[in-house]
Amino acid sequence: MSGSDGPGVEADVEISVLTACFDARPGSEGALLGALSHYVVMTRHEPACRNVDLVASVTRPGRFVVIEKWESAAAVQAHLDSKLMADMAQAAIASIASKPEIDLYDTISAHDLI
């Protein structure tokens, strides 16, 4: 984005997207959903967090995906190293069937305007 995009639009906005895919152990879907829901609510209060959503798969029961948008890759790393992330991992570990699939993306098109 250039500085001429108009009032209220930041120039050169960098947004990093973090995704985490969790598969619940059979019978542990509710416990995992509770742990992830709490994590999402708390993450929304983090200063560099632009947005975070929790979605559930309609084709794979027990699969949940957390999609987070952060101001920068450095903000993502700080969050990954945070107590909030460690607390979520500890709360979720007994409910997951396998190691979560976590990935970091650079945005190609993002319109999260302040």
28 belongs to a structural domain: yes
Alpha carbons within 13 A on the beta-carbon side of 33: 11
3-state secondary structure of 31: helix
CATH number of the domain within which 66 lies:
3.30.70.100
The residues with which 69 forms a beta bridge, in sequence order, are: 17, 51
Decide if 91 is inside a domain. yes
Domain-located, residue 39 = yes
Is 42 inside a domain boundary?
A: yes
Sheet strands side by side (includes 49-56): 49-56, 63-70, 16-23, 101-106
Q: Domain range spanning residue 31?
A: 21-106
Residue 5 is predicted with a pLDDT of 45
Residue 15 forms part of a structural domain: no
pLDDT, residue 106, reads 87
Number of domain units in the chain: 1
Residue 16 included in any domain:
no
Token pair of 91 as six digits: 């709360």
**Is 5 within a domain?**
no
What residues are paired with 11 via a beta bridge?
none
Mean pLDDT, each 10-residue run in order, the chain (114 residues) = 42 82 98 98 96 97 97 95 96 97 86 54
Is the full-model pTM beyond 0.85?
no
Does residue 52 come out as left (phi exceeding 0), alpha (psi in the -120 to 50 range) or beta?
A: beta
Residue 102: inside a domain, yes or no?
yes
- What CA–CA distance (Å, rounded) separates 55 from 64? 6
